[in-house]
Amino acid sequence: MYERKESCLLKQTRWSLVPTCVVVVLITTGVLAQNNLAFAPDKMDTILYGVAYYPEYMPYDRLDKDVELMQKAGITVVRVGESTWSTWERRDGEFQFAWMQRVLDRLHQAGIKAILGTPTYSIPTWLYKEHPEILVTHNGTAPPLGDPYSPTYPPSLTPGNYGPRQNYDFLNPYFRQHAERVIREIVGHFKDHPAVIGYQIDNETAPTSIPTQYTNAAFLERLKQKYKTPETINKIWGLVYWGQLADKWEDLPPRDGILNPGYKLEWENFQHDIVTDYLAWQAKIVNEYKRPDQFITQDFSGGVHTNLDQWAIARNLDIVAENPYFETQKRLDARGIWLSGDLGRSLKHTNYLVTETNAQTIGWDSRTQYPQYPGQLRLVVYTHLAAGANMVEYWHWHSLHYGQETYWKGVLSHDLEPNRTYAEVSRVASELKRIGPELVNLKKDNKVAILFSADSANALSYMPFSDHANYMSILRQMYGALYELNVEPDFVPAGDANLSRYKVLLVPPLYSASDEVLQQISDYVKNGGQAVMALKSGFTDEHSTVRDVILEISRHHT
Amino acid sequence: MYERKESCLLKQTRWSLVPTCVVVVLITTGVLAQNNLAFAPDKMDTILYGVAYYPEYMPYDRLDKDVELMQKAGITVVRVGESTWSTWERRDGEFQFAWMQRVLDRLHQAGIKAILGTPTYSIPTWLYKEHPEILVTHNGTAPPLGDPYSPTYPPSLTPGNYGPRQNYDFLNPYFRQHAERVIREIVGHFKDHPAVIGYQIDNETAPTSIPTQYTNAAFLERLKQKYKTPETINKIWGLVYWGQLADKWEDLPPRDGILNPGYKLEWENFQHDIVTDYLAWQAKIVNEYKRPDQFITQDFSGGVHTNLDQWAIARNLDIVAENPYFETQKRLDARGIWLSGDLGRSLKHTNYLVTETNAQTIGWDSRTQYPQYPGQLRLVVYTHLAAGANMVEYWHWHSLHYGQETYWKGVLSHDLEPNRTYAEVSRVASELKRIGPELVNLKKDNKVAILFSADSANALSYMPFSDHANYMSILRQMYGALYELNVEPDFVPAGDANLSRYKVLLVPPLYSASDEVLQQISDYVKNGGQAVMALKSGFTDEHSTVRDVILEISRHHT
Amino acid sequence: MYERKESCLLKQTRWSLVPTCVVVVLITTGVLAQNNLAFAPDKMDTILYGVAYYPEYMPYDRLDKDVELMQKAGITVVRVGESTWSTWERRDGEFQFAWMQRVLDRLHQAGIKAILGTPTYSIPTWLYKEHPEILVTHNGTAPPLGDPYSPTYPPSLTPGNYGPRQNYDFLNPYFRQHAERVIREIVGHFKDHPAVIGYQIDNETAPTSIPTQYTNAAFLERLKQKYKTPETINKIWGLVYWGQLADKWEDLPPRDGILNPGYKLEWENFQHDIVTDYLAWQAKIVNEYKRPDQFITQDFSGGVHTNLDQWAIARNLDIVAENPYFETQKRLDARGIWLSGDLGRSLKHTNYLVTETNAQTIGWDSRTQYPQYPGQLRLVVYTHLAAGANMVEYWHWHSLHYGQETYWKGVLSHDLEPNRTYAEVSRVASELKRIGPELVNLKKDNKVAILFSADSANALSYMPFSDHANYMSILRQMYGALYELNVEPDFVPAGDANLSRYKVLLVPPLYSASDEVLQQISDYVKNGGQAVMALKSGFTDEHSTVRDVILEISRHHT
């Protein structure tokens, strides 16, 4: 039965041509999971279907009307609370819960579940006033490639601006102290609320990469712990080059102008670990309060990220969440949705959540706004489910009347009245009410995997080999070839010890890899696996240092 | 008789095809205005025709020769003194007048009138040495659109560079103190000089948009006065979004990284008001001295500006001035000249001055230098007059031998000898001597208007809807359609209560508008007016907040 | 005999079509120079042929193997020691010589000569730690042209980043103090080593152009010495423009935002002189130690430089060195190599060295890596020699395993084993062993010269006349025309008094020139010379001030 579903769903990857296949899906019969006291990502009752909801953003009080409309549509879950620290804590240490109590009570009354977010992605104005050094300037652009004279990072002392979100120093102790308090207050207050099924910690967290006094100190401490003596990094990074040996730890210069690929790769991994540690720290706090049946998740912006260690982050979560947005109308292409789903599912090798996806048009400006054609929204829901999602939530319920995202429209438009999208959501909700229990907890047993190496992507970005191609473009090329063949892959991180469960392993440029990683692939091939390795693989070791010997990967001929 | 002139001049908008129409103009007979003791922009004696003149810039003393050449050409007016604060005040508090006395006396002797400028657009080196914080870094580029992560303004603490002009903090008290003193000294000294017919305050003034300690303080004070409590801006700007509520005024973050459209629009209007107030302040000082027959003007760089409130500035002037430059040779196109003239005339709904326009080639470099064809310079003069100009002055008399503008040539080239341009100027001057009194004080009674909303242009720039079009491009499209039809429009600012004098109202995207402004248009249509409104009109209110109701504009069917 | 060589070598400029011409070269017989106790650039014994060699960069100790391979190939010279200050001086004041002693001894044992470099292009980490202000931020991009509002220089207070090389303040006293000590220690220690035939001071030295406290002070002092009173610069630069007169020296603003072309040109010349003085200072120190038979050189990155006074630098050197890199495969074009050679030879009007050129692929990334075709490397060696080079050294012996230049490959690849390139090097070395003494000290007596004016190139860059052409593009156009005609030119700097030795003088836009320079050209033409002057010549004087009289260049009709 499962096989049959998979087969059909794989055909569906070309559904822009064969959308009727959805119907076939609907008549399959799935495994009905039982509710358990302890949450498990693959033991959910049914597909959850809902929206992010910000009653605090509304131009006037419409809680009752909104919940009635949701209930009428058949929405079963909403995400609340993650965006508005200053509503939770208007003044330093003065917390307000009544506004959310009212929302959760009303939702509960309507039988709608809630995912409660920690509101840490944007700090309140009073905290900025007290500690402006919490913020760092974040210009949102990747360091320029191949222009090594250019300072690739903003100088440490650039003051941060208030206004953007997610531009704080994760290691700033004042930020941590205030973040911890607001998390404890919120989760402690609402943990027993019957509507709350889980928690989202932070939101699309990503490193700033900006050197600060705290990150610089922590980086030095990391080096001391990891490499014991400066002599070690002198050796493995080759600091003798251009006469840049560090005789004492204190002599090591900060990240700002560094060109050394080994240093840069270590810094990048340090940035990964900052985010992982930060989310683990939030998860640990929430874990002190949450009920066993509640989960902790965190939402990745859709797809594969080279500036995060997504597998490490996932280990701190009960269930992974993805925010896959997509193009619409004639540009609708399931490839990005599938890639995001395959990644989300692979991170814990089980089912995952979709916490955000298009309701109507998206974008921070209205230059590329194309409302979806009738039916496209429904088609996309079943695509998510086919990849293993156990929930689909739109961002968001209503359209905003102020702020940066007035063009990023919700299920309701600015007039806040039911519309075509609302009708399509209602139709899908009604279908899921019926077949959700059969589609939930879908299992995959893929035989092809793509080996992902963030280190290789980053190390290659310091030493690019083309203006037209890079690590990610080759990964996407490999993924696209599988997609065209209707073959669903898993993603495995470089260093994963379980390669043997796959028949074929695709390896985008494995530019930076330890001997151990190369040995794993060699063993995999020796044991009958088929590996397709891209150019530049094995070029450097885990410190981005070029090898002076050529390692031989075992060859297996079929 | 007036009707006949208008008709002909309108035909002339296509004069690149029908230049002979100029001849027709020459044989019409105008209204001969009488001289009055009190200056009025529409009661001037004749067309003034002249140049900006900087004897202090010359490589050697040529005052007598220059004035002789001017006199021989028939030039009747020069603008002097606005560029050289350090010549007026070589050391802090030590003023020099003799150099200008000699110039004005010599001009008066030759029967040439003078417009005396206040020299405030560039501060002297000693003032920068004393107060370097007066200067702000001005990189001359517009904030990037649609890239909201990018800090849209330079951080407040960037030190200003000496070298560019118009890069000072208008609100710096030391700047104001020194500016006031030099204005009082100059105007007080020369107010009774018979050659001086008026004053130009500052030059092409525009806001820097850069946050400084003084602008930040003034902005906060403005908010307090205007909105009384932070709760009001929390509400109207939606600061709840991303948790950015301000509980106390002091918590409100500075402009630097702000993404909130309401905040940005208020800041933009604040920048407008800084310039308006600054010019009103200069006008007030000059008014304490000037004779009733003297005027105060200020020169706008040609055309419509979204970073100024040009109507508000005009209310502080006796007569408006424009600096319309244009392309030459085959690229000569009257559209820009007309637009500039229609705007200049509309600002006070009366005649205006042209203080600067091309003599020979223009540009800060020589990449696009095309000397005009014979006759083009003359053609342009009559175009200006046809739009309602009562004066045409070239920038400038001679070409510069140093500084940034050596390629921006005057009537005389670097050899400072009479040439082809001098000959054409002489011809025009001789014509104007004869017919100037008939062409002066031309009145217009246009039946079409374009409604201009700087707020809409700015608010849309924060939330762009296209890579190819924006507020100004649509405005120019509308203007161009009228131009092709030989229909001259007026410009009216959004909020103008006198729409009823027009038969047709063209409305470029009125993205940001108060209910009152929308009501005025609705009433206008109800009363029989024809309004053509562009896309995105009525989308947001005056705070750039999206409306949740659709306002209905009355429809009048003809 | 000489004539015959020249003729043939000129033909060889088209060798991409007629590569067999090399054979013809090989059978000519040259003048065999005698060895002298005192070094003279045109009295060398034979062609030197070798590599830059960094044993300190190797992943493991291979000194013996490397030298054996070099010896076997026939390499006769290596450059050592210029890249690794921190290896020489690991801690402040603690010097290490043993590592280099071992290298030089081993080379001497193998009969290979050494050029010893001063290691000043990159400071050690401990020096940065002690004096971070030594470094200045160097973004590697030229100041934007034609956008005068843009601050053309980074603000003085931008902190420098550690990581790039050649980004220090040449005038920082702590840098000078430490640089002097390390130079004295190294040269003092090894001056008597029999392997050492000469010294390279610094490496591809170029000005940072960044204002610092020390450069600002030195610039002011220069102005005082040169112009005596501020009144002089007020006059010659026209500081009256925009009211920027300086009444006292202290009032003169720093370079940061300056738009005045005269100021900018003086600053540019000041930057030239900083580099010249710095290299003269290094040469003076080395001269205190070196033996008469040893030379001092400095390597210019290949070609003509507008940010240096290369002739002035050359006066402080015993012999000039060039680093001409080139494109390979089908893009191989001798034009750039010739230009570099003609320039290198012209700087002291005698033979020169090639200290760096391609071994295998080059580039800081691998986007444009094209290994040379078989034979191209050999062809290029003879091209260098034909232009007057007395040495050809590759950069470098081995390929790097870390740092910025892992793609910039040496004779050996990353596996450090002999390869195709090694074989071609061996072949050339064997040829040179035989015919080197005949090809060395080649003399040229060119009859055509190109007059080079860095002032004109720089002054025009502030006032560009085209988006498509500039000083250098016209210079290259002139050079290219000669190249196509098989005519080899010399370069002469503007102001050179010996124009009469040339029959034809090509003058790229001589935009900025003193009366004296123009008079020299006029006299040259009067005396029968043929001058071809490009547009914009004579436009401004040596202060970038536009002339108000047209100077007449004598015309000589043939």
Query: Over the stretch A126-157, which tens digit does the pLDDT of each residue have?
Result: 999 999 989 987 544 333 333 434 444 545 55
Taking alpha carbons only, the member of C347, C286, C352 closest to residue C321 is C352
Preceding amide of A396 cis, omega within 30: yes
From CA A355, how far away is CA A78, in angstroms rounded?
Answer: 9
Of residues C356 and C167, more confidence is placed in C356
Choose the closest CB to B463 out of A121, A165, A407. Answer: A407
Preceding amide of C396 cis, omega within 30: yes
Preferred mutation among C402, C407, C414 to probe A, highest tally of A CBs within 10 A: C402
Token pair belonging to B432: 């104007």
Choose the closest CB to B365 out of C247, C259, C465. Answer: C465
Q: What percent of chain A clears pLDDT 70, i.e. is strictly above it?
A: 88
Instruction: Determine contact, residues C448/C483, Cβ cutoff 8 Å.
Output: no
C144 pLDDT exceeds 80?
Answer: no
User: How far B477 CA lies from chain A's nearest CA (Å)?
Assistant: 19
Q: In chain B, which residues have pLDDT < 50?
A: 1-35, 139-152, 154, 557-558
Partners of chain A (3+ Cβ pairs below 8 A): B, C
Q: Residue A178 in 3-state DSSP?
A: helix
* Cβ–Cβ below 8 Å for A146 and C365: yes
Query: For C104-128, b where at least 16 C-beta lie within 10 A, e where not — what string?
Result: bebbbebebbbbbbbbbbbbbbbbb
* Cβ–Cβ below 8 Å for A148 and C401: no
- The confidence band for C138, taking pLDDT boundaries of 50, 70 and 90, is low
The neighbour count for residue C332, using CB atoms within 10 Å, is 19
The neighbour count for residue B36, using CB atoms within 10 Å, is 12
Provide, as residue numbers in chain C, all residues whose Cβ is less than 8 Å from the Cβ of A549.
415
Q: Which pLDDT belongs to residue C522?
A: 95
Token pair belonging to A114: 């809630």
pLDDT tens by residue, C371-407: 999 999 999 999 999 999 999 999 999 999 999 999 9
In single-letter form, the type of residue at position A74 comes to G
From CA C414, how far away is CA C401, in angstroms rounded?
Answer: 7
Extract long-range pairs of C342-345: CB within 8 Å, 24+ residues apart: C342/C387, C342/C488, C342/C489, C342/C490, C342/C491, C343/C303, C343/C304, C343/C310, C343/C491, C344/C300, C344/C320, C344/C387, C344/C388, C344/C389, C345/C387, C345/C388, C345/C444, C345/C490
Taking alpha carbons only, the member of B547, B461, B488 closest to residue B148 is B461
pLDDT tens by residue, C506-547: 999 999 999 999 999 999 999 999 999 999 999 999 999 999
Q: Which pLDDT belongs to residue A33?
A: 38
C3 pLDDT exceeds 50?
Answer: no
DSSP states of B223-278 as a string?
HHHHHSSHHHHHHHTTTTGGG---SSGGGSPPSTT---HHHHHHHHHHHHHHHHHH
* Cβ–Cβ below 8 Å for A139 and B146: no
* Cβ–Cβ below 8 Å for A243 and C160: no
- The burial of B63, by beta-carbon neighbours within 10 Å (0-12 exposed, 13-18 middle, 19 or more buried), is given as middle
Q: Which pLDDT belongs to residue A26?
A: 31
Instruction: Determine contact, residues B114/B195, Cβ cutoff 8 Å.
Output: yes
From CA B244, how far away is CA A175, in angstroms rounded?
Answer: 15
Query: For A341-378, b where at least 16 C-beta lie within 10 A, e where not — what string?
Result: bbbbbbbbbbbbbbbbbbbbbbebbbbeeebbeeebbb
Partners of chain C (3+ Cβ pairs below 8 A): A, B
Provide, as residue numbers in chain A, all residues whose Cβ is less than 8 Å from the Cβ of C179.
none
**Site of tokens 């804590």:** A89
Contacts of A529 (CB under 8 A, 6+ apart): A499, A500, A502, A503, A504, A505, A556
Q: Could you tell me the strand order of the sheet in which C448-452 lies?
A: C489-493, C448-452, C504-507, C530-533
* Cβ–Cβ below 8 Å for B367 and C259: no
| pTM confidence score | 0.91
Choose the closest CB to B259 out of A125, A164, A367. Answer: A164
Preceding amide of B396 cis, omega within 30: yes
User: How far C367 CA lies from chain A's nearest CA (Å)?
Assistant: 4
* Cβ–Cβ below 8 Å for A403 and B253: no
Provide, as residue numbers in chain A, all residues whose Cβ is less than 8 Å from the Cβ of B254.
162
Locate the chain A residue with the closest alpha carbon to B231: A90
A420 pLDDT exceeds 50?
Answer: yes
Q: What would you report as the CA-atom Rg of chain C, rounded to the nearest whole angstrom?
A: 24
In single-letter form, the type of residue at position C64 comes to D
* Cβ–Cβ below 8 Å for C365 and A549: no
- The burial of B49, by beta-carbon neighbours within 10 Å (0-12 exposed, 13-18 middle, 19 or more buried), is given as buried
Token pair belonging to A402: 């102020």
C4 pLDDT exceeds 70?
Answer: no
pLDDT tens by residue, C155-166: 555 667 898 888
Provide, as residue numbers in chain B, all residues whose Cβ is less than 8 Å from the Cβ of A364.
146, 148
- The separation between CA B214 and the C-alpha centre of its own chain, rounded to angstroms, equals 25
Token pair belonging to C556: 């000589």
In single-letter form, the type of residue at position B385 comes to L
Q: Which pLDDT belongs to residue A437?
A: 97
From CA A287, how far away is CA C2, in angstroms rounded?
Answer: 89
From CA B432, how far away is CA B47, in angstroms rounded?
Answer: 7
pLDDT tens by residue, B9-47: 333 433 333 333 333 333 333 333 344 589 999 999 999
Q: Which pLDDT belongs to residue B166?
A: 87
Token pair belonging to C486: 């098989």
Instruction: Determine contact, residues B163/C267, Cβ cutoff 8 Å.
Output: no
From CA C210, how far away is CA A151, in angstroms rounded?
Answer: 15
Preferred mutation among C153, C216, C231, C244 to probe B, highest tally of B CBs within 10 A: C244
Give how far Cα A509 sits from Cα of A453, A459, A490, A550, C363, Å.
Answer: 8, 11, 17, 16, 20
Angle in degrees, 0-180, between the axes of helices C471-484 and C334-348, rounded to the nearest 10: 100
pLDDT tens by residue, A48-84: 999 999 999 999 999 999 999 999 999 999 999 999 9
- For chain B, what percentages of helix, strand and coil (3-state, to nearest 5) are there? 40, 10, 45
Mean model confidence pLDDT for chain B: 89
Check residue B15 and report its DSSP letter: T
Check residue A136 and report its DSSP letter: B
The ipTM, to two decimals, is 0.90
Q: Residue C113 in 3-state DSSP?
A: strand
Choose the closest CB to B139 out of C151, C238, C246. Answer: C151
**A403 Rama sector, left if φ>0, alpha if ψ -120 to 50, beta otherwise:** left
From CA A27, how far away is CA A200, in angstroms rounded?
Answer: 33
Q: What percent of chain B clears pLDDT 90, i.e. is strictly above it?
A: 79
- The confidence band for A8, taking pLDDT boundaries of 50, 70 and 90, is very low
From CA A545, how far away is CA C406, in angstroms rounded?
Answer: 9
Longest dimension (CA), chain C: 71
* Cβ–Cβ below 8 Å for B546 and A414: yes
* Cβ–Cβ below 8 Å for A148 and C86: no
Of residues C137 and A283, more confidence is placed in A283
Q: What would you report as the CA-atom Rg of chain A, rounded to the nearest whole angstrom?
A: 24
C24 pLDDT exceeds 50?
Answer: no
A15 pLDDT exceeds 80?
Answer: no
Handedness of CA C281, C284, C290, C295 (dihedral sign): positive
A472 pLDDT exceeds 90?
Answer: yes
* Cβ–Cβ below 8 Å for C367 and A246: no
**Site of tokens 């609370």:** A81
Instruction: Determine contact, residues B125/C247, Cβ cutoff 8 Å.
Output: yes
Beta strands, E only, A72-145:
77-80, 89-91, 94-95, 113-117
Q: Report the C-alpha dihedral over residues B398, B401, B404, B409, rounded to 10 degrees.
A: 30
Instruction: Determine contact, residues C383/C337, Cβ cutoff 8 Å.
Output: yes
Locate the chain B residue with the closest alpha carbon to C151: B139
* Cβ–Cβ below 8 Å for C163 and A240: no
Q: Which pLDDT belongs to residue A381?
A: 98
* Cβ–Cβ below 8 Å for B241 and A57: yes
- The separation between CA C24 and the C-alpha centre of its own chain, rounded to angstroms, equals 31
